[in-house]
Amino acid sequence: MQLYGLIGFPLGHSFSKGYFTAKFEKEHIENSTYENFPLPDINGFPELVHSLPNLKGLNVTIPHKTAVIPFLDELDPAAKAIGAVNTIRNEGGRLTGYNTDTIGFRESLEVLLQPHHKHALVLGTGGASKAVVYTLRQLGITYRLVSRHPQGPDDLRYEQIDAAILEKYTLLINTTPLGMHPATDTAPPLPYEYLDARHFLYDLVYNPGKTLFLHKGEAQGAAIKNGHEMLVLQAEAAWKIWNKA
């Protein structure tokens, strides 16, 4: 039996287990199973891997995307540049880290970009923002990070976002958990009244399908997209990594 799984903590609302279980059934992939492995402390990672002799690969979610790196034997160039791992391939005990978030994000975003989407505001500076900013650099899109506690000299506070900034920055990407179930009445604190049809709001949150952030953008005529397709695409990219020759 080939074993795949997910590490993180907590894992109550995991996308991956349901997705891969359905994939195995639909595509008649036999002798394969996908399990959740809640891991409160990343220091338990080596023991976990050692206890799973049939393990072929893992997905990694919060809070371990960066913390797991010292326990790996090798990093794919993209994962190294991003500084975060969401996929691990186990090849005879040798563990290689990858980041398929950037694949899923790019493939789901790129086809919807318009010529005027040259400047982006990335809401949040946590682990999820790392793959986003890496992808924006690849696409030649300039960006500024927005958070409650700015870390870099070019970062913005939410209260600094005004009509002039939104005139230039027409791509807004939410990498925070604001609006995620069950706290569906929350949204990044932005002056949504300055949005219009030129803006594109992308939310990495996928549950609910339309967050308050997206509702507010749509009400102003903006294009919107949630993170579900990104999750599917990153999962399929992980599957290819685990099963490549």
- Per CATH, the homologous superfamily of domain 103-229 is NAD(P)-binding Rossmann-like Domain (3.40.50.720)
Alpha carbons 243 and 240: distance in angstroms, whole number: 5
Q: What class has domain 2-99?
A: alpha beta
Strand pairing category for 55-60 and 87-91: antiparallel
Per the annotation, the verdict on 80 as an active-site residue is no
pLDDT value for 183: 93
Alpha carbons 11 and 16: distance in angstroms, whole number: 10
pTM for the whole structure: 0.93
- Asked, colleague to colleague, whether 2-99 and 103-229 share their fold, the answer is yes
pLDDT value for 14: 81
pLDDT value for 62: 85
Residue 176, judged by CB atoms within 10 A of its CB (0-12, 13-18, 19+), counts as buried
Low-confidence ranges of the chain (pLDDT < 50): none
pLDDT value for 155: 96
C-beta separation of 146 from 174 below 8 A: no
**226 token code pair:** 């949630």
Active-site residue identified among 23, 56, 65, 244:
65
| Angle at CA of residue 72, ends 51 and 97, nearest 5° | 105
Alpha carbons 60 and 58: distance in angstroms, whole number: 6
Q: pLDDT, tens digit, for every residue of 105-135?
A: 999 999 999 999 999 999 999 878 999 999 9
C-beta separation of 121 from 173 below 8 A: yes
pLDDT value for 124: 96
pLDDT value for 127: 79
Strands in the chain per DSSP E: 2-8, 32-38, 55-60, 74-75, 87-91, 94-98, 119-123, 142-146, 171-174, 200-203, 223-225
Domain boundaries along the sequence of the chain = 2-99, 103-229
Residue at 19: amino acid letter: Y
